[in-house]
Amino acid sequence: MSRIGKLPITVPEGVEINISDDNVIIVKGKLGELQQQINKDMTLKLEDATLTIKRPSESKEHKALHGLSRALINNMVIGVSEGYSIVQELVGVGYKASATGQVLELALGYSHSIFLELPPEVSVETITERGKNPSITLKSHDKQLIGQVAAKIRSFRKPEPYKGKGILYKGEQIRRKAGKAAAE
């Protein structure tokens, strides 16, 4: 059996799960509501405060879908109960970030500022302290959406290996390269 797929999902208090006939699962919690279509072959059972997922056969496809289904549902349960946050740092001279409502303004060394309108499910906070790199904090109950937004922000200025400038995830280590050796 799939090591991930066979693990039961414990449903915390305050989280409500509804499973329809066509395997559409709806998870409601204090932070929001998420829904996901699960493969029709998977069998979902909700007993007490535990959700288990069973697969019909030992085929390679069913094994893969078993673990995937469990991971997606678990991410939804954690999202609506605790939420997710991603912190990114802007490393570079003159790099700035500011948020006005759902619009994020980035100054990343280009001749123009970049304006990014964020989905309503994602909240953004920017911190600029003297002597530290500016940082962007994204918060949401949807793990897939917050990851996609963070990847989009990072794509505006990926970290480069020579000086380490760019948009980095908090705690990320960049593999550095030696520059060109001086000619003698």
Judge if 72 and 125 occupy the same domain: no
pLDDT of 41-61, one tens digit each? 899 898 888 999 999 998 999
- End residue of a domain, out of 57, 81, 105: 81
pLDDT of 78-125, one tens digit each? 999 999 999 999 999 999 999 999 999 999 999 999 999 999 999 999
Judge if 151 and 101 occupy the same domain: yes
- CATH at 47: 3.90.930.12
User: Could you tell me the pLDDT band of residue 2, with boundaries at 50, 70 and 90?
Assistant: low
Domain assignment of residue 156, given as a range: 84-169
Structural domain tally of the chain? 2
Judge if 105 and 133 occupy the same domain: yes
- Residue 49 lies inside a defined structural domain of this protein: yes
Judge if 97 and 145 occupy the same domain: yes
CA distance 179 to 155: 24
CA distance 150 to 139: 10
User: Could you tell me the pLDDT band of residue 1, with boundaries at 50, 70 and 90?
Assistant: very low
pLDDT of 120-159, one tens digit each? 999 999 999 998 999 999 999 999 999 999 999 999 999 9
Q: What is the DSSP string of the chain?
A: --TTTTSPEE--TT-EEEE-TTSEEEEEETTEEEEEEPPTTSEEEEETTEEEEE-S---HHHHHHHHHHHHHHHHHHHHHHT-EEEEEEEESTT-EEEEETTEEEEE-SSSS-EEEEPPTT-EEEEE--TTS--EEEEEES-HHHHHHHHHHHHHTS---TTT--EEEETT--PPP---PPPP-
